[in-house]
């Protein structure tokens, strides 16, 4: 779209749902309503922040001759993508920003529950306690071959407790056949995804209606103490709620609990330390500990490397994190595959 002379006499404002986030080498415009994003140059973000109460013409007058054409192109791009709108001066204060406060009634929102033949705790008791804490999403992981009947009994004990979704990461057993798992998913409607790990073959089955990836057979064996997913651009997520949570907390660890196969309670499946055991303590007593909750507020804005990354309010990063006393910031032992200083992914990225 071309900027007209009349457009240049107007003031401009960012739509409240469009948030430019600056990284070390480039920015991203978070389009919260469309749940989408666009890469933009850092200079465009600076232009938006520094010139809130000036007409486009006033702004262009102050830009050097060499940069004028670029500035015009920036405005044309911002208007074309509906990131900004033109308005009279009097309207500028009529569009307050969206609040980025994060609130949830749940003490725990999501949980990882590990089970093996060595498990001495009652999963149903854990499900009841998780439901009382407000938990909505659960990932159940098994490390020993169990028949399908075992999973039916397990999910029977999780039914009608208010859980929104259950992901099942099941160790391969010959009874876990694709057609039986499709029937299983139809019976237990809250099953969002099934991974059969350690399978002798690779196969993906999509949901027929929503074309979502639903059941997956994977030869790789899941390991105790390790997360199934790696930090990756496919786990980026954009919404007003996610942005607010990321601005105030850690998107992966906040209000999460993991119960390992021996009943030890951790912040996440890949964390080494534990805070108690469900065979001796109530889950509520454990997750209410200040030390347990400390990691919840590990914001990306306070984390080495991530604080300079333009993905920081959409990135669900499950790498273990620690407080670096010397540098007074959060940090990771394991590097991310994305380097914000070069805007490059180690392997294929967006």
* Nearest-approach distance from CB 307 to ligand SF4, in angstroms: 8
Residue 216 burial (CB < 10 Å; 0-12/13-18/19+)?
A: middle
| 311 touches ligand SF4 by CB under 6 A | yes
Residues 6+ away with beta carbon under 8 Å from 112: 138, 139, 141, 256, 257, 258, 259, 268, 269
- State which of positions 329-348 bind ligand SF4 (CB under 6 A): 336, 338, 340
Contact segment (CB under 6 A) with ligand SF4 among 82-90, 192-200, 254-262, 305-313 equals 305-313
Chain-centre distance of CA 225, in angstroms?
A: 20
Closer Cβ to ligand SF4, 139 or 231, answer by number: 231
| 37 touches ligand SF4 by CB under 6 A | no
Closer Cβ to ligand SF4, 12 or 253, answer by number: 253
* Nearest-approach distance from CB 260 to ligand SF4, in angstroms: 24
What is the number of other CB atoms lying within 10 angstroms of the CB of residue 17? 16
Judged by CB under 6 A, the residue of 13, 28, 306, 321 near ligand SF4 is: 306
Contact segment (CB under 6 A) with ligand SF4 among 126-134, 158-166, 180-188, 311-319 equals 311-319
Distance separating alpha carbons of residues 137 and 290, to the nearest angstrom: 23
Structure tokens at 18: 């469009």
Closer Cβ to ligand SF4, 199 or 336, answer by number: 336
| 305 touches ligand SF4 by CB under 6 A | yes
Asked whether 123 and 115 are in contact (CB, 8 A), the reply is yes
Structure tokens at 347: 């392997």
Q: Which of 141, 139, 126, 127 is nearest to 276 (CA)?
A: 126
Judged by CB under 6 A, the residue of 119, 142, 231, 270 near ligand SF4 is: 231
Distance separating alpha carbons of residues 217 and 178, to the nearest angstrom: 9
| 321 touches ligand SF4 by CB under 6 A | no
| 20 touches ligand SF4 by CB under 6 A | no
- State which of positions 123-182 bind ligand SF4 (CB under 6 A): none
| 27 touches ligand SF4 by CB under 6 A | no
| 309 touches ligand SF4 by CB under 6 A | yes
Rounded to the nearest 10 degrees, the angle between the axes of helix 178-187 and helix 148-158 is 10
Contact segment (CB under 6 A) with ligand SF4 among 114-122, 213-221, 281-289, 307-315 equals 307-315
| 300 touches ligand SF4 by CB under 6 A | yes
Distance separating alpha carbons of residues 305 and 319, to the nearest angstrom: 13
Contact segment (CB under 6 A) with ligand SF4 among 72-80, 241-249, 274-282, 306-314 equals 306-314
Phi, psi of 79 (to 5 degrees): -75, -45
* Nearest-approach distance from CB 349 to ligand SF4, in angstroms: 9
List C-alpha distances in Å: 33 to 17, 28, 138, 248.
6, 15, 27, 20
| 320 touches ligand SF4 by CB under 6 A | no
| 249 touches ligand SF4 by CB under 6 A | no
* Nearest-approach distance from CB 336 to ligand SF4, in angstroms: 3
Distance separating alpha carbons of residues 268 and 296, to the nearest angstrom: 11
Number of residues interacting with ligand SF4: please give it, by CB under 6 A: 12
Residue 50 burial (CB < 10 Å; 0-12/13-18/19+)?
A: exposed
Interaction site with ligand SF4 (CB under 6 A): 231, 300, 305-306, 309, 311-312, 315, 317, 336, 338, 340
């Amino acid at each position: 779209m071309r900027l007209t002379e009349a457009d240049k006499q107007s003031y401009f404002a960012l739509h409240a749902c469009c948030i430019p986030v600056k990284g070390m080498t480039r920015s991203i415009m978070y389009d919260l309503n469309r749940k989408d994003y666009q890469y933009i140059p850092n200079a465009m973000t600076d232009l938006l922040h520094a010139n809130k109460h000036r007409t486009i013409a006033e702004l262009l007058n102050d830009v050097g001759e060499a940069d004028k054409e670029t500035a015009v192109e920036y405005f044309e791009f911002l208007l074309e993508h509906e990131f900004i709108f033109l308005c009279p001066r009097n309207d500028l204060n009529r569009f307050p920003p969206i609040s980025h406060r994060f609130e949830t009634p749940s003490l725990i929102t999501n949980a990882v529950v590990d089970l093996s033949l060595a498990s001495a705790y009652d999963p149903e008791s854990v499900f009841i306690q998780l439901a009382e804490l407000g938990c909505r999403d659960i990932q159940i992981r098994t490390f020993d071959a169990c028949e399908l009947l075992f999973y039916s009994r397990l999910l029977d004990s999780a039914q009608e407790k208010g859980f929104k979704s259950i992901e099942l990461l099941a160790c391969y057993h010959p009874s876990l056949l694709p057609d039986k798992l499709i029937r299983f998913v139809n019976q237990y409607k809250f099953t969002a995804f099934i991974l059969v790990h350690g399978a002798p073959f690779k196969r993906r089955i999509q949901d027929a209606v929503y074309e979502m990836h639903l059941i997956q057979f994977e030869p790789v064996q899941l390991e105790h103490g390790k997360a199934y997913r790696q930090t990756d651009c496919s786990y980026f997520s954009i919404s007003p709620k996610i942005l607010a949570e990321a601005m105030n907390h850690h998107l992966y660890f906040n209000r999460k609990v993991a119960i390992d196969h021996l009943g030890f309670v951790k912040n996440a499946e890949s964390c080494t330390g534990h805070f108690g055991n469900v065979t001796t303590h109530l889950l509520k007593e454990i997750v209410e500990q200040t030390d347990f909750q400390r990691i919840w507020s590990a914001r990306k804005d306070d984390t080495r490397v991530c604080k300079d990354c333009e993905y920081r309010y959409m990135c669900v990063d499950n790498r273990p994190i620690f407080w670096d006393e010397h540098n007074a910031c959060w940090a990771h032992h394991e590097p991310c595959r994305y380097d914000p200083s070069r805007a490059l992914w180690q392997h294929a990225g967006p």
